[in-house]
Amino acid sequence: MKLFGVSAILVASVVAGTALAETAIQAGEWEATEKTTLEGVQPTPATSKKVCLKGDDAKLERLLFPTPAEMKEHGCTYQEGAKKAGVLTATLICPPSDMIAGVTAKAEINYSATSYEGMGQIEAKDKSGTTIKGSSVLSGKRLGDCS
Protein backbone atom coordinates (compact mmCIF):
# COMPACT_ATOMS: atom_id res chain seq x y z
CA MET A 1 0.00 0.00 0.00
CA LYS A 2 1.51 3.34 -1.00
CA LEU A 3 1.03 6.23 1.37
CA PHE A 4 0.75 9.65 -0.29
CA GLY A 5 2.83 12.19 1.53
CA VAL A 6 2.98 10.64 4.99
CA SER A 7 4.50 13.91 6.06
CA ALA A 8 1.16 15.25 5.13
CA ILE A 9 0.10 14.13 8.50
CA LEU A 10 0.11 16.83 9.87
CA VAL A 11 -0.85 16.80 9.93
CA ALA A 12 -6.05 22.53 9.17
CA SER A 13 -12.33 23.76 6.87
CA VAL A 14 -10.86 24.62 3.50
CA VAL A 15 -10.79 22.65 0.26
CA ALA A 16 -7.28 22.29 -1.19
CA GLY A 17 -6.52 24.79 -3.87
CA THR A 18 -8.36 27.62 -2.16
CA ALA A 19 -6.76 30.15 0.15
CA LEU A 20 -5.43 28.43 3.26
CA ALA A 21 -4.80 30.11 6.57
CA GLU A 22 -1.05 29.85 6.88
CA THR A 23 1.39 30.16 9.73
CA ALA A 24 4.32 32.50 9.09
CA ILE A 25 7.82 31.41 10.14
CA GLN A 26 11.22 32.93 9.46
CA ALA A 27 12.48 32.59 5.88
CA GLY A 28 15.70 30.64 5.33
CA GLU A 29 17.03 27.09 5.19
CA TRP A 30 15.10 24.68 7.38
CA GLU A 31 15.73 21.09 8.40
CA ALA A 32 12.51 19.09 8.81
CA THR A 33 12.66 15.70 10.56
CA GLU A 34 9.95 13.05 10.76
CA LYS A 35 9.87 9.69 12.55
CA THR A 36 6.78 7.70 11.55
CA THR A 37 5.71 4.42 13.12
CA LEU A 38 2.96 2.34 11.45
CA GLU A 39 1.16 -0.56 13.16
CA GLY A 40 2.26 -3.91 11.78
CA VAL A 41 4.99 -2.38 9.62
CA GLN A 42 8.71 -2.76 10.23
CA PRO A 43 10.08 0.40 11.91
CA THR A 44 11.96 2.76 9.63
CA PRO A 45 14.58 5.34 10.53
CA ALA A 46 13.68 8.99 10.91
CA THR A 47 13.82 11.00 7.70
CA SER A 48 15.20 14.48 7.38
CA LYS A 49 15.12 17.02 4.59
CA LYS A 50 16.47 20.50 4.08
CA VAL A 51 14.14 23.07 2.55
CA CYS A 52 14.81 26.66 1.52
CA LEU A 53 11.81 28.87 2.25
CA LYS A 54 11.86 32.32 0.67
CA GLY A 55 9.50 35.28 1.00
CA ASP A 56 5.82 34.28 0.90
CA ASP A 57 6.74 30.56 1.06
CA ALA A 58 8.01 30.96 4.65
CA LYS A 59 5.00 29.15 6.14
CA LEU A 60 5.00 26.22 8.56
CA GLU A 61 2.54 24.39 6.29
CA ARG A 62 5.19 24.24 3.51
CA LEU A 63 7.32 22.06 5.79
CA LEU A 64 4.53 19.74 6.97
CA PHE A 65 2.03 19.24 4.15
CA PRO A 66 1.98 18.61 0.42
CA THR A 67 1.70 21.75 -1.71
CA PRO A 68 -1.80 23.09 -2.47
CA ALA A 69 -1.34 21.88 -6.08
CA GLU A 70 -0.51 18.34 -4.88
CA MET A 71 -3.50 18.36 -2.52
CA LYS A 72 -5.82 19.48 -5.31
CA GLU A 73 -4.40 16.83 -7.69
CA HIS A 74 -5.23 14.09 -5.17
CA GLY A 75 -8.62 15.52 -4.10
CA CYS A 76 -7.45 16.24 -0.56
CA THR A 77 -9.09 18.57 1.93
CA TYR A 78 -7.26 20.52 4.61
CA GLN A 79 -9.02 21.55 7.82
CA GLU A 80 -7.49 23.97 10.26
CA GLY A 81 -8.13 23.28 13.92
CA ALA A 82 -8.72 25.69 16.78
CA LYS A 83 -6.37 28.67 16.74
CA LYS A 84 -3.98 29.07 19.66
CA ALA A 85 -0.83 31.19 19.77
CA GLY A 86 2.21 29.05 18.95
CA VAL A 87 0.15 25.93 18.12
CA LEU A 88 -0.94 24.64 14.72
CA THR A 89 -3.62 21.93 14.67
CA ALA A 90 -4.73 20.56 11.34
CA THR A 91 -6.30 17.59 9.57
CA LEU A 92 -5.53 16.48 6.03
CA ILE A 93 -7.91 14.03 4.32
CA CYS A 94 -7.03 12.46 0.96
CA PRO A 95 -9.34 9.89 -0.68
CA PRO A 96 -8.00 6.57 -1.99
CA SER A 97 -7.30 6.10 -5.69
CA ASP A 98 -6.39 3.02 -7.72
CA MET A 99 -2.69 3.63 -7.00
CA ILE A 100 -2.62 5.39 -3.63
CA ALA A 101 -4.22 4.66 -0.27
CA GLY A 102 -6.53 7.24 1.25
CA VAL A 103 -4.99 9.11 4.16
CA THR A 104 -6.40 10.95 7.16
CA ALA A 105 -3.64 12.77 9.00
CA LYS A 106 -4.03 14.91 12.12
CA ALA A 107 -1.29 17.00 13.66
CA GLU A 108 -0.65 19.26 16.61
CA ILE A 109 2.52 21.28 16.27
CA ASN A 110 4.06 23.74 18.74
CA TYR A 111 6.10 26.32 16.85
CA SER A 112 8.09 29.54 16.96
CA ALA A 113 9.53 31.61 14.12
CA THR A 114 12.65 29.37 14.04
CA SER A 115 11.60 25.88 15.20
CA TYR A 116 8.72 23.44 15.64
CA GLU A 117 7.91 20.09 17.23
CA GLY A 118 4.80 18.02 17.55
CA MET A 119 2.91 14.82 16.93
CA GLY A 120 0.80 13.49 14.13
CA GLN A 121 -1.68 10.64 13.86
CA ILE A 122 -2.26 8.90 10.54
CA GLU A 123 -4.73 6.40 9.17
CA ALA A 124 -4.28 5.01 5.66
CA LYS A 125 -7.01 2.97 3.97
CA ASP A 126 -6.92 1.46 0.49
CA LYS A 127 -9.92 0.72 -1.74
CA SER A 128 -10.08 -2.88 -0.48
CA GLY A 129 -10.60 -1.60 3.07
CA THR A 130 -7.16 -2.48 4.45
CA THR A 131 -6.33 0.07 7.13
CA ILE A 132 -2.99 0.99 8.67
CA LYS A 133 -2.70 3.37 11.64
CA GLY A 134 0.36 5.11 12.87
CA SER A 135 1.93 8.15 14.44
CA SER A 136 4.71 10.58 13.66
CA VAL A 137 7.04 12.71 15.71
CA LEU A 138 7.76 15.90 13.76
CA SER A 139 10.39 18.53 14.36
CA GLY A 140 12.23 21.21 12.50
CA LYS A 141 14.60 24.10 12.94
CA ARG A 142 15.86 27.02 10.94
CA LEU A 143 19.53 26.46 10.04
CA GLY A 144 20.27 29.92 8.66
CA ASP A 145 19.97 31.77 5.38
CA CYS A 146 19.48 29.78 2.18
CA SER A 147 22.70 28.79 0.41
pLDDT per position as a tens digit, 20-77: 457 889 999 999 999 999 998 888 899 999 999 999 889 999 999 888 898 898 899 9
Q: Tell me what the mean pLDDT of segment 1-22 comes to.
A: 38
Task: Walk across the sheet containing 28-38 and list its strands.
Answer: 14-15, 77-80, 87-94, 102-111, 115-125, 131-144, 28-38, 47-53
* The dihedral sign for the CA sequence 144, 136, 77, 70: positive
The 3-state secondary structure of 77-117, one letter per residue = EEEECCCECCEEEEEEEECCCCCCEEEEEEEEEEECCCEEE
Give the CA radius of gyration of the chain.
15
Q: Which pLDDT belongs to residue 21?
A: 56
Q: Please tell me whether residue 38 adopts helix, strand or coil conformation.
A: strand
Domain residue ranges of the chain, discontinuous segments joined by +? 6-19+37-144
- pTM for this structure? 0.79
- 138 vs 52: CA distance, rounded Å: 18
- Whether 6 has a pLDDT exceeding 80, the answer reads no
Residue 14: per-residue pLDDT: 28
Of residues 124 and 15, more confidently modeled: 124
Q: pLDDT tens digits, residue range 77-123?
A: 999 998 888 999 999 999 988 888 899 999 999 999 999 999 999 99
pLDDT digits (tens, 9 = 90+) for 64-79: 988 889 889 889 999 9
Which pLDDT score, from 0 to 100, does residue 140 have? 97
pLDDT of 135 reads 95
